[in-house]
């Protein structure tokens, strides 16, 4: 189910608490929830995922992103979360797209090359070309 961007990060559509043990068994050490509460009827709450993560020995961070866009605070929080984890991270939202975009923005903010970030996103099945101007601005190019 996860779409691997690189050895440090994968993104996925909404996960369920019962998915977490398998994620832990496959090597993930941290989950980042980029989905706002109540976005869709029947989605698990962040607390349910957090409890499942804790039970499986995984770290958990919430950085909810609405479909309307990204704030600098969210970009910085994602960069901080990714920088504080030693091991593979799974970030999820409704489809995985916001998580991939936020990862790329955070990576550009830390100096990542926009062309490389776009290529990594494409390799995982996500088109990041629409945020290229933001990636270039964050990367200082």
Q: Do residues 61 and 129 make contact, with C-beta atoms less than 8 angstroms apart? A: no
- For the stretch 42-62, pLDDT in tens is 999 999 999 999 999 999 999
Total domain count, the chain: 1
Q: Hey, is 25 helix, strand or coil?
A: helix
Taking Cα atoms as reference points, which of 30, 16, 18 lies closest to residue 59? 30
Domain of residue 57: give its range: 3-102
Please give the pLDDT value at position 77.
97
Q: Which residue has the tokens 């797209």?
A: 97
Taking Cα atoms as reference points, which of 92, 106, 100 lies closest to residue 53? 92
Q: Do residues 38 and 20 make contact, with C-beta atoms less than 8 angstroms apart? A: no
In a domain, 111, yes or no: no
**CATH code, 71:** 3.90.190.10
What count of Cα atoms within 13 Å lies in the side-chain half-sphere of residue 74?
23
Q: Identify the burial level of 32 via C-beta atoms within 10 angstroms of its C-beta, where 0-12 means exposed, 13-18 middle and 19 or more buried.
A: buried
Q: Hey, is 10 helix, strand or coil?
A: strand
pTM over 0.85: yes
In a domain, 85, yes or no: yes
Helix (H) or strand (E) holding 93: none
Q: Mean pLDDT across the chain, nearest whole number?
A: 95
Helix (H) or strand (E) holding 100: helix 97-109
Q: What is the rounded CA–CA span in Å between residue 122 and residue 125?
A: 5
In a domain, 63, yes or no: yes
In a domain, 118, yes or no: no
In a domain, 44, yes or no: yes
Please give the pLDDT value at position 1.
75
In a domain, 129, yes or no: no
In a domain, 114, yes or no: no
- For the stretch 91-131, pLDDT in tens is 999 999 999 999 999 999 999 999 999 999 999 999 999 99
In a domain, 113, yes or no: no
């Amino acid at each position: 189910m996860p779409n691997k961007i690189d050895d440090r990060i994968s993104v996925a559509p909404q996960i369920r608490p019962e998915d977490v043990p398998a994620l832990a068994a496959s090597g993930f050490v941290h989950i980042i929830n980029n989905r706002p509460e109540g976005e869709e009827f029947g989605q698990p709450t962040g607390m349910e995922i957090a409890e499942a993560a804790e039970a499986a020995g995984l770290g958990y961070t919430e950085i909810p992103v609405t479909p309307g866009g990204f704030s600098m605070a969210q970009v910085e929080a994602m960069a901080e979360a990714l920088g504080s984890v030693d091991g593979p991270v799974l970030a999820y939202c409704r489809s995985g797209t916001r998580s991939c975009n936020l990862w790329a923005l955070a990576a550009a903010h830390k100096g990542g090359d926009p062309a490389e970030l776009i290529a990594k996103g494409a390799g995982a099945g996500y088109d990041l070309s629409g945020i290229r101007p933001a990636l270039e601005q964050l990367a200082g190019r």
